[in-house]
Amino acid sequence: MIVGVPREIKNHEYRVGMVPAGVYALVQAGHKVLVQAGAGLGSGILDEDFEKAGATLVASAPEVYGQADMIVKVKEPLPAEYGLIRKGQIVYTYFHYAASRELTEAMIKTGAVTIAYETMEDAKRTLPLLTPMSEVAGRMSIQEGAKYLERPTEGRGILLGGVPGVEPGNVVIIGGGVVGTNAAKMAAGIGARVTILDVSLDRLRYLDDVLPPNVTELYSNAYNIRECIRQADLVVGAVLIPGAKAPSLIRREDLQHMKQGAVIVDVAIDQGGCVETAKPTTHANPTYIVDGVVHYCVANMPGAVGRTSTFALTNATSRFAVEIARHGWKNAAKAFGEVRTGLNIVDGKIVYKAVAEAFGMEYTPLEKVL
């Protein structure tokens, strides 16, 4: 199979769909890998690194799309890429279809086989291709929060870890899943006083077992959230109700009880945010202030740490790229639940129910195309 890796063209997207190790694995298995020149630069991977791993470099995206049987990338195709995708071509990337009717209609029109990272499920019913990005965003939330707590960026002027003789900062994390746990580890590690809230008692028990003593696990309800955020220097929003909009757990009127210059990092912004006053921001302009509280609501946080994110993502995606190339998409889907659950639109048909439901479009059961 010819596998193509184009350069990402989304604004401030520094990741790339494959690293030299992935190229090497595919080439060793007898496939050909075309990499667009410059595709890895945002992640610190040079063209010659790809070449040494066995890739063939090509100059332009049309050359990658024109020759490849399977495209491996990171973000959803943009309008400039729609016309490059052809019938029967496999496109393996994040799509987030439910967020865009335009993209859904465009991919139906191409007749391509689209395999979406975000819906791929393993036997434990977790989402192994989403988890690495939640790990990145969770750890990054503390780094960003610490930065915006500094006075020049209009924060309270707090060093989260404190120093001998001065108390540390208070970090409140709402949601104790992948994002929340990673945020808690980072905040605890730099010496902050951390409180993590979740509605799952089982999850709180687990967190109590694995997190250090400067983390307090607390049941999440309106009263506890209100009490916690009054003391908070940094609040991290990390809740998820799968498939649904995030619940508004901090309301506008709560902000007036928070400390001036406190920071909210609402990681859940990609699902609408768990803070009423949250609205999506970008890396170019990540924060704004409401009632004296700094809001950081970047919807693609991992993009800023492109190198780490590229390696974290491809650690999870490469294995299946190799299997799809080896077996073809149909047999790979039959053999691997992850590939099967990743199929969203195939040959102009929507085969993933939630996507069809999101737009009231026709749903075709997957079995009909396999």
Ligand X SMILES: NC(=O)c1ccc[n+]([C@@H]2O[C@H](COP(=O)([O-])OP(=O)(O)OC[C@H]3O[C@@H](n4cnc5c(N)ncnc54)[C@H](O)[C@@H]3O)[C@@H](O)[C@H]2O)c1
> Which residues contribute to the site for ligand X (CB under 6 A)?
133-134, 137, 174-180, 197-200, 203, 220, 238-241, 246-247, 249, 267-271, 299-302
- Distances in whole angstroms, Cα of residue 339 to Cα of each of 27, 64, 67, 175: 21, 23, 23, 29
Report the nearest approach of ligand X to the CB of residue 118 (Å): 9
Helix axes 178-189, 131-148, angle to 10 degrees: 40
Strand partners, 288: 295
**Closest CB to ligand X among 72 and 133?**
133
Retrieve residue 345's tokens.
Answer: 């639109």
Helix, strand, coil percentages, rounded to 5, for the chain: 45, 20, 40
Q: Which is nearer to ligand X, 70 or 174 (CB)?
A: 174
Written as one letter, the residue type at 30 is G
> Partners of 91 in the beta sheet?
71, 114
Residue 199: in which H helix or E strand, if any? none
Q: 69 vs 270, which CB is nearer to ligand X?
A: 270
Beta strands in 66-163 (DSSP E): 70-72, 90-93, 113-116
Report in angstroms how near the CB of residue 151 gets to ligand X at its nearest: 25
Name the minimum Å distance from CB 369 to ligand X: 28
What is the set of active-site residues?
Answer: 96, 270
- Whether the CB-CB separation of 74 and 16 falls below 8 Å is answered with yes
Q: Residue 323 corresponds to which amino acid?
A: E
Helix axes 20-28, 306-335, angle to 10 degrees: 30
